Amino acid sequence: MSAPFRSPVPESSPRDHALFRVNPMSYVVVVIFVLAILWPVTSYPVALGWLVLLPMAFAWWVARTWTRLDEGGVHLSSWRARQSVPWDEVKGVMFPKRGFARLVTTADASIPMGGVSFHDLPRLSGASRGRIRDPYATPGADAS
């Protein structure tokens, strides 16, 4: 007896729709950076040994930067600190020209939402259960 057929999940669609992370392809940048500094660091380890800290710092930033939405609110993590904002304090989301989206609170504070960009707006609307509205969604369409 065979198992029922399940369609494959594309690699680009995350399993946890409420978690937004920096693109994991950023780790490729870390590898390229390590390869680029390998020769200078091995040639002059005393003078240029500190360059090894740069790809490590970038990898730390990629690993620590994320945004999660749940019933309690928006949970934000950056390389420095973690922060939670309850839904009743969320005023909206702003999308600057460069960088990640920014969460605007009722106190008019602007907090970066790590891993969230403009193309994540439909997924952001679905994860927030409509609290953050997608203005480009067709009326009456179910968010999933």
Digit-coded pLDDT (tens) for 29-82: 999 999 999 999 999 999 999 999 999 999 999 999 999 999 999 999 998 899
What is the model's pLDDT at position 46? 95
Q: How many residues does the chain have?
A: 144
Helix/strand/coil for 98 = coil
**Amino acid found at 117:** S
Please say whether the beta carbons of 122 and 143 come within 8 A: yes
What is the pTM for the complete model shown? 0.76
Domain covering 19-127: architecture: Roll (2.30)
Q: What angle do CA 136, 122, 15 make, to 5 degrees?
A: 165
Please say whether the beta carbons of 112 and 106 come within 8 A: no
Residue 2 has pLDDT above 80, yes or no: no
Distance CA 101, CA 36 (A): 31
Tokens of 139: 């009326």
